Amino acid sequence: MNVTSRRGAVVALLLLTACSKSEERESYESQPTSTFEAADTSGTPAARAPNDMFAPGISVTAAPGVAFNYRYAFRLNATSVAGVQEEHAQLCEKLGIDRCRIVGMRYRLVNDRDISAMLAFKLEPTIARQFGKQAIAAVNKANGMLIDSEITGTDVGTAIEQSKRQQSRFEEDMKEIEGKLAQPDLKSAERAELQQQLDALRQSRRATQATREDNQSALATTPMVFNYGSGDLVPGFDGSSTVRRAFETAGENFMWALNIVIVLLGTFLPWILIGALLVLLFRRIRPRLTKVIDQAPEE
């Protein structure tokens, strides 16, 4: 076997090995790692909606050091919004406040038939993805659908490492200045300048430490927001919605025109009737008035 053949065989072997490891890793990541993740989110065929959808397959283990932010938007019937919102809240409460906390809620009646609602959480990062899947499954069981999904991430891990290195440099510079300040024969002007430098370094170190703590807090919890809505958020979600909506619009227009007619009649009809009565009365007494005028003696 020549060199070219051996190189080709080695490359093929490496590709097969990489594919095998990738399949093993995917199989491992797909297995539940906790009681919460072991819950069945697929739903039975009778319970799943025809447009069943699930969260994108992104796991925090695939991006260490990245702080994720999840946002979902759901379209539901107005009568189902409150129930699904309550079910999502119960999913969080079952996990306990150490793993999931509700940090915001809104429920608003937009008009006589549409509902707008919101629910915000702070989740343990390792369960955020599976929590999103269960939330979508609950929406599907209520004959709703996922209409928008957004997952954003910030690389705070790199910032944390940079802040650690920066703080180490600050501490080294501070030790050096403190050594100079310990010298007994140091001039007052030089001492004052060194003290100012030391104060500035301490302030910078505190700021760097505060930033690192904020980034560490962002890694410790994952924000997730659910937005709910009813009405025509997704045109064509219901196959008959276009025709039904056309009839509803025609009926609304007819009732609006009927209301205007009633208002006009109520405003002007009494005056029309009074005018008609006056004309009729005038026609009845007109001959008599004419006769009286004709028989009146002339001066």
pLDDT in tens, the chain (299 residues): 444 444 444 444 444 444 444 443 343 333 333 333 333 333 333 334 444 444 454 455 556 778 889 999 999 999 999 999 999 999 999 999 999 999 999 999 888 788 899 999 999 988 998 999 999 999 999 999 999 999 888 887 777 788 888 888 888 888 988 888 888 888 888 888 888 988 898 888 888 888 888 777 777 789 999 999 987 644 334 444 555 566 667 777 888 888 888 888 888 888 888 888 888 888 888 787 777 776 666 55
Q: How many CA atoms, within 13 angstroms, populate the side-chain half-sphere of residue 238?
A: 15
DSSP 93: H
* Number of Cβ atoms within 10 Å of the Cβ of 231: 15
Across the strands, what pairs with 75?
Answer: 145, 229
Distance of CA 143 to the CA centre of its chain: 19
* Separation CA 61–CA 178 (nearest Å): 43
Amino acid 243: pLDDT: 57
Alpha helices in the chain (DSSP H): 3-30, 78-95, 125-141, 156-181, 188-220, 241-295
* Separation CA 79–CA 90 (nearest Å): 18
* Separation CA 181–CA 215 (nearest Å): 34
pTM above 0.85, yes or no: no
Q: How many CA atoms, within 13 angstroms, populate the side-chain half-sphere of residue 42?
A: 3
Amino acid 178: pLDDT: 87
At what angle are helices 156-181 and 188-220 packed, to 10 degrees? 160
* Separation CA 140–CA 147 (nearest Å): 12
